[in-house]
Structure 1
Amino acid sequence: MTSSTQKSPVAAVSGLLCFVLVVGGASGLLHEWFGWIRFMGFVRFLAPEGYETYSYVVMVVLGLAVGVAGDAISRHRRV
């Protein structure tokens, strides 16, 4: 494996954080709207009571932003 194909630690962490936020937020939204089982139940501790839906939407948007930023950082380092 060459150094150009290896992921930087920042890109790996941002990818993991992106996954947790997007999947956790989407899981929370599905639970709030349809009562389905929570896939990542620990994210409910991040949502204040009474503002769960807004919190899960913010988690999804923030997760997507972190993923885009991590991708931009990894592309910038490759050049």
Structure 2
Amino acid sequence: MKKLLEFFGFVALVQGVAGLVHEFTDWHWGLVQRLGFLDGYELYTSIALVLLGVALFAAAESRTPG
């Protein structure tokens, strides 16, 4: 379970950072800007994904191995 939380935390963190990079530099990579229903909310979604990734890493660290 710890590895699964770390994996999803990594994916959320990477997608959140990709969305932030896209907002500030106009590089076209990541998933957030490709979802049409998030138009106008990409920055907030990216920040939420970064926070979710950090929370998932914290949850993974609190789990006992095994």
Q: What interval of TM-score do these two structures reach, taking the shorter chain for normalisation?
A: 0.7 to 0.9
1:1-79 residue pairs with structure 2 within 5 A?
10-38=1-29, 41-44=30-33, 45=35, 48-74=38-64, 77=65
Query: CA-atom RMSD, angstroms?
Result: 2.0
Q: Which 5+ residue runs of structure 1 have no aligned equivalent?
A: 1-9
- What do the CA deviations read for 1:2-57 (whole angstroms, capped 9, x no partner)? xxxxxxxx10110000100001100111011111131xx33443971111000000
- What TM-score results when the alignment is normalised by the length of structure 2? 0.83
Larger Rg: 1
Moved over 2 A (4+): 41-47
Distance 1:12 1:64 in 2: 14
TM-score by length of 1: 0.71
User: Alignment identity in percent?
Assistant: 31
Aligned residues: 65
Gaps of 5+ in 2: none
